Amino acid sequence: MTRPWLLLVISALACPAVAWSQNTPDVVKQGEQVFNRRCATGYCHGSRGTTGGAPRLAARGFEQEFIANTVSQGVVGTPMPAFEKTLSPQELAAVVAYVANLNGLASAEMTAGSAGDNPAAGKVAGPALSPEAVRGRDLFSDSVRGFGRCSTCHEVKGIGIAVATPMAKVPADVRALRALATPEVATAKIAGESMPALVVSKGSRSVMFYDLTIPPPVRRTAEPGTVAFAEGSAWKHSSVMGAYDDAELKSVLAYLRAVVKP
């Protein structure tokens, strides 16, 4: 069976982004566990990299550097993800060792190295967060809160929907967060109805804005002349904060203070 994206795997970039430890049996064993969980899933490579919908990985003659690059950076234009963003350096090294093992590479051929040298490690861990900030991070995008969560409108560290402009300043406390001034929210009038609106663009062919009437925000596109904007709005940031109590908001602020750079 020809699989169109099989060929694309071959085109992965050549510069190594991850170093690896020795392919010791322990590491290979750990790699097998990671592989079974993240790569062998029915939709992907199957057990031992021999079955499943994605390309076969066993006995392909892959070299370890190629495997390391592909696993860490993914393959653009295919479903193969860049695992350096979601696996720890140790897990990355282990799964690379396991796939190398599937390709018959013995440990003698391996380049010694330390996972601690991995430049991707910083992306994984990020700055150390306090326990309260970690709690705040989880609350910020807590899926249990549905459309009431912060990440419905704010994107921070790659999580959330970027409706609001990126945060430049974090309110000093919960009271300030509730009272946050939002002068950028205007009032749009379209088809006889007024609504709080965040203007995205005003072009000659179309006007784009977010309708903030109820979360989640709806990005509307209208022809110029069919929508009018007035400065200011009755909309309040506090009206969309009902999913959190004060203690939770305090944690969210602790998180934002740790990660938002002015």
- Binding stretches for other proteins (CB under 8 A): 1-5, 33, 36-38, 40-44, 46-47, 50-54, 74, 76, 78-83, 85-86, 141, 143-144, 146-147, 151-152, 158-161, 206, 211, 213-221
* Cβ nearer to other proteins, comparing 169 with 205: 205
Q: How far apart are CA 259 and CA 262, in angstroms?
A: 10
- The residues, ordered by sequence, that sit 6+ positions from 99 with a Cβ below 8 Å of its Cβ are 31, 35, 49, 57, 62, 67, 71
Q: Which long-range contacts (CB under 8 A, 24 or more apart) does 30-35 make?
A: 30/90, 30/91, 30/94, 30/98, 31/93, 31/94, 31/95, 31/96, 31/97, 31/98, 31/99, 31/101, 32/98, 33/94, 34/87, 34/91, 34/94, 34/95, 34/98, 35/95, 35/98, 35/99
Give the shortest CB-103-to-other proteins separation in angstroms: 18
* Cβ nearer to other proteins, comparing 116 with 122: 122
Give the shortest CB-241-to-other proteins separation in angstroms: 17
Neighbours of 206 (CB within 10 A): 14
Give the shortest CB-180-to-other proteins separation in angstroms: 22
Give the shortest CB-179-to-other proteins separation in angstroms: 26
* Cβ nearer to other proteins, comparing 43 with 112: 43
* Cβ nearer to other proteins, comparing 33 with 114: 33
* Cβ nearer to other proteins, comparing 59 with 176: 59
Residues in the chain: 262
Q: Residue 166: is it exposed, middle or buried by C-beta count within 10 angstroms (0-12/13-18/19+)?
A: exposed
Give the shortest CB-206-to-other proteins separation in angstroms: 8
Q: How far apart are CA 187 and CA 183, in angstroms?
A: 11
In this structure, which amino acid lies at residue 106? A
Give the shortest CB-151-to-other proteins separation in angstroms: 6
Sign of CA dihedral 147, 79, 76, 69: positive
* Cβ nearer to other proteins, comparing 64 with 152: 152
Give the shortest CB-129-to-other proteins separation in angstroms: 17
* Cβ nearer to other proteins, comparing 6 with 172: 6
Task: Say if residues 52 and 44 touch (Cβ distance below 8 Å).
Answer: yes
